Amino acid sequence: MKPTVYEELTSVLKEPLPLSRVHALIREWGSVWSKDQLQLFLTCMDGVELDATAADPLIRLGQRTPEELLTEAIVQVVKSQTKPIPAGQVVKLLPSQFVTTEAQVRALAKAHPDLEVIGPGLLRMKH
Distance of alpha carbon 6 from alpha carbon 18, whole angstroms: 17
Q: Tell which CATH classification among 3.90.1570, 1.10.10, 2.60.40, 3.40.50 matches the domain 66-125.
A: 1.10.10
Q: What is the pLDDT of residues 8-66, one digit of tens each?
A: 887 788 788 899 999 999 999 888 999 999 989 888 887 788 887 778 888 888 777 78
- pLDDT for residue 93 is more than 90: yes
- pLDDT for residue 73 is more than 80: yes
Distance of alpha carbon 75 from alpha carbon 110, whole angstroms: 12
Of 79, 81, 8, 77, which Cα lies nearest the Cα of 22?
8
Q: What does the pLDDT read at residue 97?
A: 92
